[in-house]
Chain A
């Protein structure tokens, strides 16, 4: 598997550390309530298809990435810097 790091280009999967769903970027406010925090911390989709998750280019440039990929075909569709995605949310 290859992931295209926005800084480093296409790199072998072994350079990256998998984290989990990209929902982790959308941290609720402290007073958002139990349901919002439950969703943020625990509830995850398990799609057969396109999913967005976080990878850390740990053995590379150290950038956190949002990787959009297909769990069925294993195709890596797009990768973005988590910082850029987060700035877009703000």
Chain B
């Protein structure tokens, strides 16, 4: 029920929302949880395994019960915590894990079957018959278990990633965090202050204590305003720091308010990577429940949460509230309830020596041992020295003490230490380099302690940053000592819940111990304790205590489980924002991209590049028609192809030739200026890395061409060779791939085409095969190379990229007047296979110069990278698989790449394999399929008919081993 005259809600801004189809009204400032509680909606969810009725337990991101699904269709977002979901107008939330409805859930039958569904039931129950697991058991279990469901549709929401940098990151804006941020900011440091709540203040918003005579929340507001006015401070609310990573890097998830997120172009969430010189962790502490029989009924809540609902949201979760626990938290809650005019039915303090000055029914040394009620709490049973008392109540506020939120300090493999005085784990200093814990997460529980600890932590951080701390005094605040008598579970029969989200009870943990799962990590996995989306925030310590008790060990002797990022569930969509669809990788377009699209060419991806596969002519309906025509065009007339994607590296300097001689197997120092040479490059392990032609433009100036695929790798390799092996060489390497738009003009009419275009005419004499040099087109400087990847008379002409589009269009137009035209990747591939030229299908990383029939290209007269290793006997073994050509001789004429090769008559099994096919194509020139393959002792087996088997495509046929050069074996056409 809503209380009068309190809270941080805006009663002038009513907000309409729905839950499970029913419409309700709340106020701006409400969460879904507070608004539902205001309407006395207590049943909000069904539990994971037993489908037990569940209600709101907490008021924060640790909530294990109140998970809902928001939105419809593609925008459906499951497992949203109602306790942190800000209410907005039109919000539609639905409960989860129930059928047909939350009130009447048929799978609540699971609860009756509970004796059979305890820890490890999966492992024991569904063992037989074996075949039933996949077909029956698993599908049934999957349907019954689990919480919210994904829509199965493409997520239409926008997410983003962003980076931020600061001197000091303060995680948590409660009293400790605010003080740390203020001191650091006053001292001139660049500060980022993050808090997962919608506002700063932390517990000050939920409690009533004063700081410097002001209500805590007001004090927080004032200091926040001061911070916000400073240029060196950035306050990030609604931002949960989710993980601590190496080098002072922190992950943080920011949820944008609905009003902002619904604007066009705005993201729903932003995943921040924050790099901080130092960090102060002021993440606070989480109150922990007490395990007692039926402690999971709707209406049983954390005492601190009840206080938060009363003070911050002006909601009383009950009309007759009882309190149970072992710290002063329950007394504080009782006092606030009484102040708010709510009836408090009883206060049960498990500490035998407890006193109470409130006017209410008080049970010192008492323990709540059971609860009753159908879909919500109606009564509790109290074990007293004189027997069992039953009290009617609709809300029980419980407190089993506080667990410091040490999570982030453990993200780099650190373990917290047990502090018996507060019966909780606290961080060890230095577990995350540069991170200092302060306040409640550091085991400092009074407001005064938090404030001073924040100052101390900031001073430490400032020192590490090399800054002098400014003068700042800690304000006055309460300093009540923390008194706790540990109480983990109330003895008795029945099921007492530890992990509400995964339905793990005290009994389950004890059973794990009985079955010898005594290690905490084993117990966790056997029972699933702490493995739900709340990561056991409210249950891990109690479960550990129960395990310690069951195995006769101390809590620190039993250990802790490991906390890993993220601190709260984080959408993969946020962490991987932008990395979907076209954002997955940059797209590289050649200068002829537009012209190719205009010509109707389908584009294919080649690494990051987009290249035309074919240029379909009118009437062509299949790519093979276009490809065959384009091949014929190049063989008989002239074709134009954009080859700008090949890597081009400018190599300049007095030692340029030395570098080339060292990275290529063959010599380049002997190459004359104005000439090109084919080069083969090895990895140091003797295998081929890449090939290409390199031109010598001047005495100290070469330009190297790499394959498209290996361009970056070769650049890296050349830089490595220079910097890490021969820094003494005077040579510089600059990629010029992007500077030049380069086009192959290939075919018997290629010279005719160029001669109408170039300012100076070409002849075979003044520009023979493998010549290179400057050229010009209407005064525009160009580079011309007489090189051929098709085996035809061919040129490559390069112009500054700004002219690429224009030149390509003109080249194609001229080619068309000569019965030629543009050709794409498919034709380029056919042309090179006809000539036995190589690509990375053959240079796939496991082939050597020997395998490729190029052993003679490794110069005897000089050292080069890979030479020594290439001479190892294993890499020159005549039995190795070596490059050959294949042509079909069987009934099936189609060859397939990836097929394996077998000696005729052998069974097609792995141990009989003789080799494999790397490239195939139909040759319109020859009128049949052809293939390149690697075959054991291949060159010695020319003419032998072997069997090609493609197990994947179900093809078996006979092929003849032949020379890998299918066409124009003496190379006369290229020289003509």
Which residues of A does B touch, CB under 8 Å?
Answer: 1-2, 10, 12-13, 17, 19, 24-25, 27-28, 30, 34, 37, 40-41, 54, 56, 58, 62-64, 73-76, 81-87, 90
Contact = CB atoms under 8 A, between A and B. Distances in A.
B868 A30 contact: yes
A39 to B, nearest CB: 12
Interface in B145-163: 163
Given A2-B246, A2-B248, A2-B275, A41 B727 contact: no
Given A1-B247, A2-B248, A37 B868 contact: yes
A37 B719 CA distance: 22
Contact of A2 (B247, B724, B868, B872): B247
A71 to B, nearest CB: 12
12 contacts: A2-B246, A2-B248, A12-B163, A24-B684, A27-B725, A30-B863, A64-B723, A73-B433, A81-B723, A86-B725, A86-B726, A87-B727
Contacts of B706: none
A83 B727 contact: yes
B869 A64 contact: no
Contact of A25 (B685, B716, B725, B867): B725
B245 A1 contact: yes
Nearest to B163: A12
B723 A58 contact: no
Contacts of A2: 246-249, 275
Contacts of A90: 728
A37 B869 contact: yes
Nearest to A2: B247
Interface in B826-871: 863, 867-869
B99 interface: no
Nearest to A62: B719
Interface SS of chain A = mixed
Interface in B691-720: 712, 716, 719-720
B412 interface: yes
B724 A54 contact: yes
Contact of A82 (B163, B245, B275, B724): B724
B635 to A, nearest CB: 41
A9 to B, nearest CB: 12
A64 B724 contact: yes
Given A1-B249, A87-B727, A64 B867 contact: no
A87 B724 contact: no
Interface residues on B, range: 20 to 34
A41 B724 contact: no
A75 B433 contact: yes
Interface string B767-798: 00000000000000000000000000000000
Interface string B239-269: 0000001111100000000000000000000
A61 B412 CA distance: 30
A53 to B, nearest CB: 12
A42 to B, nearest CB: 8
A28 B867 CA distance: 12
Contacts of A34: 872
Given A56-B716, A76-B247, A86 B867 contact: no
A60 to B, nearest CB: 12
Between A41, A63, A84, the greatest number of chain B beta carbons within 10 A of the residue's beta carbon is seen for A41
Contacts of B863: 30
Given A74-B247, A90-B728, 9 more contacts: A1-B246, A1-B247, A2-B247, A24-B720, A24-B724, A34-B872, A64-B723, A74-B412, A75-B433
Interface in B725-765: 725-728
A56 B724 CA distance: 11
**Central interface residue in B716, B719, B868, by most chain A CB within 10 Å:** B868
B249 A64 contact: no
A85 B725 CA distance: 10
Contacts of A37: 868-869
B719 A64 contact: yes
A69 B727 CA distance: 24
Given A2-B249, A41-B685, A87 B728 contact: yes
B717 to A, nearest CB: 10
Contact of A86 (B163, B273, B727): B727
Contacts of A13: 246-247
B256 to A, nearest CB: 24
Interface centre among B433, B684, B712, B725 (most CB of A within 10 A): B725
B865 to A, nearest CB: 9
A86 B716 contact: no
A76 to B, nearest CB: 7
Nearest to B871: A30
B429 to A, nearest CB: 15
Most A Cβ at <10 Å: residue of B245, B247, B249, B684: B247
A56 B719 contact: yes
